[in-house]
Structure 1
Amino acid sequence: MHAHGFGQRYDLPLPLWLWLTGAGATLVLTFVALALFARRRDFGRSFLASIDLLQRPLLRRVAHPLAAVLRTIGVLLFVLTLATGFVGHQDPYANLIVTMVWVLWWVGMAFFCALVGDVWDVVNPLPVLYRAVVRVLGTRESIGWTYPARLGAWPAVLLFFAFAWAELLWQDKDVPRALAGALLGYAVIGWCAMLLFGVDAWRRHGDAFAMVFRVLGRFAPLEVRSATATQPARLGLRLYGAGLLRDEPVPNSVAAFVLLMLATVTFDGFHETPLMDRIGTAAQASRPVAEALFTLASATGLDETQWLNTAILVLFPIAFVLIFRATGAWMLRLAGGPSTPGTAGADINAMVWSLVPIAVAYHLAHYASLLITTGQFIVPLASDPFGWGWNLFGTRGRGVDLGILSPAVYWYTAVILIVVGHVLAVIVAHIEAARRFASHRAVLLGQLPMLVLMVAYTSLSLWIMAQPIVG
């Protein structure tokens, strides 16, 4: 996949109108079925049931040593990845860091957190290393500053946007030493924040990756939560999507973060389409725009195309937020007002969790081929992570089969994932609305705007997938 250094994508094997019609009809039928058979306000209560696995004696005995082993592996892989980037061969195909960061970690960890559970909460090496240093030095964990509540999760929003820009538009993202420098820079930011506010505050509000994997982990059947100063560790078993229906307030910053996740992965697909190519051509043909881009490029290290793509990348999450807020306002208008006086913002923000199944599905569909094809590079790289000619496990010469996934299998699987994700989103939205609004009529009328939004996004997703790759 060009946006991630290397990989490929395929064209749809059937006409686009067929996919759009079928997907839209599936969502509408799901909505109708819920309207007919899910009329009670307590619908979905059994959906929220969970089993506390730590109450099982065997699992309770195994959990702590297993977590310690996983943390150790996480630290070792982090150190190895940094080392290969800084001192290894600078060919991205011969150096572990590029495949490790962009494929196994970003794509693979996201898949695992969404489909199994938020294991990143356990293996995240930054707090593990920080706390190890604190123990060795015998000092306090932080200097005791209180994290400003008004900041919410906005630091994580900004850092995740910076990461998305680097993933999609940074020209040096596949240069091992530059990537290692960026990784170390993020770690230093995190460690400084932990020193000021404490580990738990940083992970909850500022660590973009802890937050993105936590959001994806809400969809997963395993609830994985490390112990904090205020909460015990938890390992629970639940149905897919049940974690999205916790009865807790959703701050504006958290809602913005979820929408940013959806916007950036959508931009990832859109900026490789012929339409984006035509937008670039039109921008260069416009004298004022071309002059502005030239001025920016002359004053910075970015070229005109990067500046144009950056501007559009900024517009994507802004558009997603505005559309979501407008949909929410429409929802409240049709429902006859907020669930209780003064809760309009809370009612709208609560619906953002219904978009997580869509984000999960599109992430799976968009990156599956990258993980399956490019992920194979890890086999030879395991034997020679630095690119120095080693053959530790006898796999250095192992070839990579980029045709391992047939086009038909890939596309049918991707489309099924997107449609299933949107169906689950309709169900989650319905359950959330039923918990908030008093009457069945208010629930149904209020969900019509969300249905329109989800059908529109399904169509957009499939349209993007159907476009030939450009660039």
Structure 2
Amino acid sequence: MTSHVEIFAHGVGGSTDLPVPLSFALIGAAWALTATFAIVALAWKHPRFDPAKPGRQLPAWVSRAVDSPTARWVIALMALLFALWVLAAAIWGPDGSDSALPGAFYVLLWVGLVALSVCVGPVWRLLSPARTVYRICGIVRRKGPDTSGRSYPQRWGYWPAAFGLFAFVWLELASPDPGSLAAIRTWLLIYALVMGVGAGVFGARWFARADPFEVYSMAVSRLSPFRRAPGSGRIEVVNPLDHLPTLPMRPGTVAVLAVLLGSTAFDSFSQAPAFRNFVDRIATGVPFFGEAGGATVLRTTALVVFVAVVGTTFWGAARATGGISPQERQRLPGQLAHSLIPIVVGYIFAHYLSYLVERGQETVVRLADPFGLGWRLFGLAPDDVSYVLSQHPSVLWTIKVACVVVGHIVAVISAHDRALGLLPQQHQITGQVAMMLTMVGYTFTGLYLLFGG
């Protein structure tokens, strides 16, 4: 398979992956369906995964090194300098497809953050340039970094982060020109203003609740094998299935995960020729907006529908059980929300892995020559980019299907185990049926979109 470069909805140049063959999709669907009903009907009948279960603590020097103020400041300042480097490339570097900004924004940040958080934990809390600037300002003012005039309203939960994540995916998938440097700069300016004003009013807690990237990193990091031991705070290695249920249950948690999963599914759907042709045919008939505006309205509507369908189906499936009080049923969506994380992560890797590997390389090379002057920092040159996945399509197809199916199986295991601890014994099987069918629906839809996209 040869790879060619084009500019499309993501706003970055990308190699077009061939759709997953039907045989691969059918095999994945069969595995997912079989595993689902085998787990529900035949698996263990008592909860096995406990977030309070101790893990294997790493040597004390590892925690001391990670918690060292010097090390943390060095990493935070390096991340801030990298952000300023990208910003300088965006302002004074080449325009259009030669700019490093879209790749840094859509690939290194959006997809790379998932990979990094799953591997080592919620890293954006340390890497966030907004947090670092806030801490520096606190030192300059000789005030504690958490000093603020007002407490963060608990009823807001993660809703600000959910809206921020939707704003990001709207820019990437539904806006008139996702690759526009002006549009990305405007988005980043608004993000910086919102983070700065919010932190000025509510303190550092604003970042933990409202920063879309920090909440995004926190959520997917629940699949990481590393966490802090309760009580001692030392870093320990744990079973990710024991780590998953530690996802905080706050207002907006389900909305955050619905935005992540629904937007990724819409991304696959929006690449289908049928949808593109539909938008091209109908856009001119949307009143008051013109052709470009009409296309944006249609894509935005479809994106909202995908997110809403994920959120409402999960919410309804979580509550579809008997034998519990209305108050307990109302809490079930939040108590089961962590089971969506493996599906989200699996589908993100299935859909965006080739972007991370190949577009990520291109972005790093462009950042080595940020102003288009022929620099070759660290010896990097355009010829160093390897399109290894695009050149081996069968390997890429296998990885895509495996990511979706493994994510589905881990989600089903997590939901099943959690349900055993929440549902009364006489409803432990029937109470899971709606949720398992919903997850099968997510997985089948994901495989179909990978096959047809």
Instruction: Tell me the TM-score normalized by structure 1.
Output: 0.86
The 2-side partners of 1:233 and 1:130 are apart by: 24
SS in 2 for 1:72: helix
The 2-side partners of 1:313 and 1:277 are apart by: 14
Letter in 2 for 1:245: P
Alignment partner, residue 411 of structure 1: 397
Alignment partner, residue 42 of structure 2: 36
Alignment partner, residue 296 of structure 1: 289
Shift of 1:12: 4.5
Find out whether 1:310 has 2:300 as its counterpart: yes
Alpha carbon RMSD of aligned pairs, Å? Answer: 2.7
Superposed counterparts of 1:54-453, under 5 Å? 56-63=59-66, 64=68, 65-93=70-98, 95-139=99-143, 141=145, 142-199=147-204, 201-223=205-227, 235-246=235-246, 250-280=249-279, 283-284=282-283, 291=285, 293-297=286-290, 303-330=293-320, 332=321, 336-338=322-324, 340=325, 342-402=327-387, 404-405=389-390, 406-439=392-425, 441-453=426-438
Task: Give 4+ residue runs of structure 1 displaced > 6 Å after superposition.
Answer: none
SS in 2 for 1:398: helix
Query: Structure 1, residues 132-187: CA drift from partner, whole Å, max 9, x if none?
Result: 12211324644411222222221111111111111113344333354234223311
Shift of 1:343: 1.2
The 2-side partners of 1:464 and 1:47 are apart by: 38
In the alignment, is the contact (CA less than 8 A) between 2:280 and 2:295 conserved in 1? no
Shift of 1:370: 0.8
Letter in 2 for 1:354: S
Q: Cα 1:21–1:140, aligned 2, differ >3 Å: closer, same or farther?
A: closer
In the alignment, is the contact (CA less than 8 A) between 1:11 and 1:467 conserved in 2? no
Query: Structure 1, residues 59-108: CA drift from partner, whole Å, max 9, x if none?
Result: 13312143333212211111111122122222332x33222221112111
Query: Structure 1, residues 169-226: CA drift from partner, whole Å, max 9, x if none?
Result: 3344333354234223311210111010001x2122211110011111011112269x
The 2-side partners of 1:342 and 1:397 are apart by: 59
Shift of 1:52: 4.2
Q: Cα 1:390–1:346, aligned 2, differ >3 Å: closer, same or farther?
A: same
SS in 2 for 1:7: strand
Query: Structure 1, residues 374-432: CA drift from partner, whole Å, max 9, x if none?
Result: 12213432431222332333323435344553111101111011101100011000111
SS in 1 for 2:103: helix
| Number of matched pairs | 442
**Share of identical aligned residues, percent?**
28
The 2-side partners of 1:178 and 1:373 are apart by: 24
Q: Cα 1:313–1:75, aligned 2, differ >3 Å: closer, same or farther?
A: same
Letter in 2 for 1:241: L
In the alignment, is the contact (CA less than 8 A) between 1:43 and 1:431 conserved in 2? yes
Find out whether 1:7 has 2:11 as its counterpart: no
The 1-side partners of 2:276 and 2:382 are apart by: 38
Shift of 1:49: 3.8
Letter in 1 for 2:363: I
SS in 2 for 1:381: helix
The 1-side partners of 2:174 and 2:194 are apart by: 22
The 1-side partners of 2:326 and 2:309 are apart by: 28
SS in 2 for 1:343: helix
The 2-side partners of 1:453 and 1:24 are apart by: 16
In the alignment, is the contact (CA less than 8 A) between 1:380 and 1:398 conserved in 2? no
SS in 2 for 1:147: coil
The 1-side partners of 2:250 and 2:361 are apart by: 40
Shift of 1:58: 1.4
Q: Cα 1:316–1:190, aligned 2, differ >3 Å: closer, same or farther?
A: same
The 2-side partners of 1:173 and 1:255 are apart by: 26
Shift of 1:341: 5.5
Deviates more, 1:390-399 or 1:421-430: 390-399
Alignment partner, residue 4 of structure 2: none
Q: Cα 1:362–1:102, aligned 2, differ >3 Å: closer, same or farther?
A: same
Q: Cα 1:80–1:263, aligned 2, differ >3 Å: closer, same or farther?
A: same
Letter in 1 for 2:403: L
SS in 1 for 2:115: helix
Query: Structure 1, residues 428-450: CA drift from partner, whole Å, max 9, x if none?
Result: 001110111231x4221111111
Letter in 2 for 1:411: W
Deviates more, 1:61-70 or 1:412-421: 61-70
In the alignment, is the contact (CA less than 8 A) between 1:118 and 1:217 conserved in 2? yes
The 2-side partners of 1:324 and 1:277 are apart by: 28
Shift of 1:243: 2.1
Deviates more, 1:261-270 or 1:77-86: 77-86
Shift of 1:27: 3.7
In the alignment, is the contact (CA less than 8 A) between 2:241 and 2:414 conserved in 1? yes
SS in 1 for 2:235: strand
Shift of 1:460: 0.6
